[in-house]
Structure 1
């Protein structure tokens, strides 16, 4: 199954967070903070707002940093994804 976001929405998959702190402490699964880094897996076509075209600035495969409470979490075929608006993306990681 493919997922195709509409408008200015983007589908992302969270990158795994580290399980060991810099000090060498191993974190339990519940103690770990969800990472705000993700990989873009699908991009919508863009949209129009007030007569102006809003172009998509990210592409599939980009690593991004997104707002902490942004988007909607969905689970498809055993995989967890987040669907969010492009405006909730803070930066592209290079």
Structure 2
């Protein structure tokens, strides 16, 4: 995981078709009130879109705009992406086409 010396996540602007995602964290406590150690918690396959690049140029020279926008909840692939850390928070950069689905509520 690379650590970024940015003051806030707002200063990170993804390029091309990249999307900055913050994974939703698993509950640290069971329903009966027992706290789980961090190592035993699995990464959830769900996250919130923080920032989106402008898009990438396809082979025909046309701009392909990403299919997600800031604030969308998305389903993430099990592997992939580039992890970055800003302060105490962790984020992942994915390409738009790697995202699995948008979660509509």
Greater than 2 Å deviation, 4+ residue runs: 18-22, 24-28
The answer for the alignment partner of 2:103 in structure 1 is 93
1:35-57 deviation line (CA, Å, top 9, x unaligned) = 11000000000011202431111
1:54 to 46, 64, 68: 64
Count how many residue pairs are aligned between Structure 1 and Structure 2.
94
Q: Does 1:28 align with 2:40?
A: no
| Higher relative helix content | 2
State the distance in 2 between where 1:62 and 1:3 align: 17
Q: CA deviation at 1:25?
A: 7.6
TM-score for the superposition, normalised by structure 1:
0.86
TM-score by length of 2: 0.78
**Could you list the runs of 5+ residues in structure 1 that have no partner in the other structure?**
none
Indicate the RMSD between aligned Cα atoms, in angstroms.
Answer: 2.0
CA distance in 1, matches of 2:49, 2:58: 23
User: For residues 30 and 46 of structure 2, what CA distance do their matches in structure 1 show?
Assistant: 17
Deviation digits for residues 1-60 of structure 1 (CA, Å, limit 9, x no counterpart): 4100000000000111134568x9864321111111000000000011202431111000
